[in-house]
Amino acid sequence: MIDTFKIAHYLDHQGEIPKYNLQYLRYYFEFDIVDAPAHNALGDIRVLEVIFDYYFEKMLTIKSTPEAAILEMIKISAEPILIRKFNFGKYSGQWVEEVAKKDAGYLKWLLGEKNKARENGEDEDTNWIYTLRYHLNEKPTLF
């Protein structure tokens, strides 16, 4: 399985893209996709195809062969990502690493909330849990 959300995040080293969902990336990169309305299964597939092709080409600049690029994309997709920036809350737009230095209490609180939501079956946000554990110097585990 290849997760374009994780691939987009991985390749955005500078944290310039505010969101990584399909429709956001479509408009961010100004892809002109015919007959691809948002929240429509066929439309989402058409958008996914264009976004996948875009990131595959980017991955080819890092890996020398199509096979190596695909294997790297599969590897990235199989693991939780280390989120770089907050895209919500009082620290929206700020680097998680910087917030960890100045307000570790916030990260501890957020980790508690994410763990509660996961335990209650409300949200399985493994990427945020992994990120928060990492920045709180806890041993991040793969889920």
Give yes or no: residues 49 and 103 share one domain. no
Once rounded to an integer, what is the mean pLDDT over residues 11-34? 92
Give yes or no: residues 108 and 56 share one domain. no
Residue 53 forms part of a structural domain: yes
Q: Read off the pLDDT band of 142 (50, 70, 90).
A: low
Give yes or no: residues 28 and 74 share one domain. yes
At 125-138, the pLDDT tens digits run 899 999 999 999 98
Give yes or no: residues 117 and 55 share one domain. no
How far is C-alpha 40 from the geometric centre of its chain's CA atoms? Answer: 22
For residues 2 and 101, give the distance between their C-alpha atoms in angstroms, rounded to a whole number: 33
Residue span of the structural domain in which 27 resides:
4-78
Once rounded to an integer, what is the mean pLDDT over residues 110-129? 91
How far is C-alpha 128 from the geometric centre of its chain's CA atoms? Answer: 10
C-alpha torsion angle, residues 125, 135, 77, 72 (rounded to 10): 180
For residues 42 and 35, give the distance between their C-alpha atoms in angstroms, rounded to a whole number: 9
Residue 124: what pLDDT?
80
Residue 143 forms part of a structural domain: no
Q: What's the total number of domains in the chain?
A: 2
Once rounded to an integer, what is the mean pLDDT over residues 25-35? 93
Residue 141 forms part of a structural domain: no
**Residue at which a domain ends, from 53, 78, 103:** 78
Residue 49 forms part of a structural domain: yes
Give yes or no: residues 54 and 95 share one domain. no
Give yes or no: residues 20 and 40 share one domain. yes
Residue 142 forms part of a structural domain: no
Give yes or no: residues 73 and 94 share one domain. no
Q: Read off the pLDDT band of 87 (50, 70, 90).
A: confident
Give yes or no: residues 67 and 95 share one domain. no
Give yes or no: residues 8 and 71 share one domain. yes
Res. 17: pLDDT tops 60? yes
Q: Are 56 and 48 in contact (CB under 8 A)?
A: no
Global pTM value: 0.82
